[in-house]
Amino acid sequence: MDESSADITPEHPQWAEWRWQMQNRIHSVEALEEWIEPTAGEREAIEKTSDVFRWNVTPYYAQLMDAHDASCPIRRQVVPTMDELGDDIVAELDPLDETGHSPVKNLIHNYEDRVAFCVTAECAIYCRYCLRKRMVGDANFFMRTDEHQAALDYIAEHDEIRDVLLTGGDPLTFNEDNLEWLLSRLRAIDHVELIRFGSRMPVKLPYRITDELCELLERYHPIWVNTHFNHPKELTDEAAAAIDRLKQAGVPVGNQTVLLRGINDDPETMKALNEGLVRMRVRPYYLYQAQVIGGTQHLRVPIEVGMHIMRRLRGRTSGFAIPTYVLDTPHGKVPLNRSYVKGRAGDYVLMETYDGTLWAEPNPVPDGHPLPVQLPSVSLPDEVDTIPLDEGANVNRPEVSGARAAG
């Protein structure tokens, strides 16, 4: 049973126990008041977004928030705001068409030689920009043992699959018994060479990275972990200790940051984040352009902003402290550099994917927002794929066609 919120402090004897943290997550205004002074807008948003996207925060992560500043980069990632209910250019909740690439429940087979296996819909925290907000926290996407087995059977039947990403939700919400069940069955499949975890636990609940977990992972090498630090304030001593435990177990750790407006969308913050990661022996892997998901417009930035940040990093820090800036599309990840990005067509950015498909990413430039990089002005070809926009969206729409083109 949850304890009184007044007892949930870093001085509690169970503070560093991950299960205690999970059991005492913050999911009400009253509990949040123990950590910050919620604004009227935050209070209203917590109530009004309750039917849209689940909300909770671990006590560990809550202590990182600035109690008096609603623009705090930690707070903005996890506390709902009324912006989530504002106008957006899409109502899309599956911009990568993951459902269309799922041969069995929660198994996404987009690239020939690898799959993403969403083993759970549970997370320790529900980030407001979440790629999978359509499913996380939704009971319909939790998996029974027979559904896990169906996914394992699919992997076993497709010998082209050499790389399995365990994701979710967060796979490290599973206990060691459940994780070992999954890992042992994956390792029994001869053609599975690599098992990866996509987990934000080192960031939002580093106490989950226990010695017991690391000993388990070490038994099933090669295991890799990609985690998800977005801001230097997340690079705590506790997070560094969690990363060190993984490294001591022989687990390489990479990081996938999401570019977020008002949180990390400037060169100085991104440089500090990536250099801090390197000091922790974490390799900056990807900088993701935030996906076009309904209710996240206030967190997205023009692609030119990300390209400017990348240009400012080059030559000003170690090369291995510079991630690859990418956009994920239904046709795979696209590096957002001039080798792939063709130009801007009104409120779209035109690019070419690895398989030669032309993709038009809806990416409006906010009014009065000067662009630090100017892309060539281009027209959209007749055959181009894109995300359907809401008919009432205020977007400069060139005529486009294609399988998922705007109507």
Residue 386's SS3 state is: strand
- Secondary structure of the chain: what % helix, strand, coil (to 5)? 30, 20, 50
Question: Which pLDDT score, from 0 to 100, does residue 407 have?
Answer: 33
Q: How far apart are CA 243 and CA 229, in angstroms?
A: 12
Question: Which pLDDT score, from 0 to 100, does residue 393 have?
Answer: 61
Nearest CA among 227, 190, 232, 189 for reference residue 208:
227
* Long-range contacts formed by 24-31: CB under 8 A, 24+ apart: 24/59, 25/56, 25/57, 25/58, 25/59, 25/124, 25/125, 26/56, 26/57, 26/58, 26/59, 26/62, 27/55, 27/56, 27/57, 30/5, 31/5
Q: What does the block give as tokens for 390?
A: 């809401």
Give residue for tokens 């977007």: 395
Residue ranges per structural domain of the chain: 5-85, 99-331
Question: Which pLDDT score, from 0 to 100, does residue 67 have?
Answer: 97
The pTM (predicted TM-score) of the whole model is 0.93
Nearest CA among 300, 390, 289 for reference residue 87:
390
Question: Which pLDDT score, from 0 to 100, does residue 1 have?
Answer: 42
Give residue for tokens 């087979």: 109
Q: What is the pLDDT of residues 34-67, one digit of tens each?
A: 999 999 999 999 999 988 888 999 999 999 999 9
Fold of 99-331: TIM Barrel (3.20.20)
Q: How far apart are CA 154 and CA 296, in angstroms?
A: 34
Q: How far apart are CA 201 and CA 207, in angstroms?
A: 8
DSSP 85: G
Sequence-ordered strand ranges (E) for 170-276: 194-198, 223-227, 253-259
Question: Which pLDDT score, from 0 to 100, does residue 134 have?
Answer: 80
Kindly give the confidence (pLDDT) of every residue in the chain, 407 residues in length, as a single tens digit, with 9 standing for 90 and above: 456 666 889 999 999 999 999 999 999 999 999 999 999 999 999 999 988 888 999 999 999 999 999 999 999 999 999 999 988 887 777 888 888 999 999 999 999 999 999 999 999 999 999 988 888 878 888 999 999 999 999 999 999 999 999 999 999 999 999 999 999 999 999 999 999 999 999 999 999 999 999 999 999 999 999 999 999 999 999 999 999 999 999 999 999 999 999 999 999 999 999 999 999 999 999 999 999 998 999 999 999 999 999 999 999 999 999 999 999 999 999 999 999 999 999 999 999 999 999 999 999 998 888 999 999 999 999 999 998 776 656 666 555 444 444 33
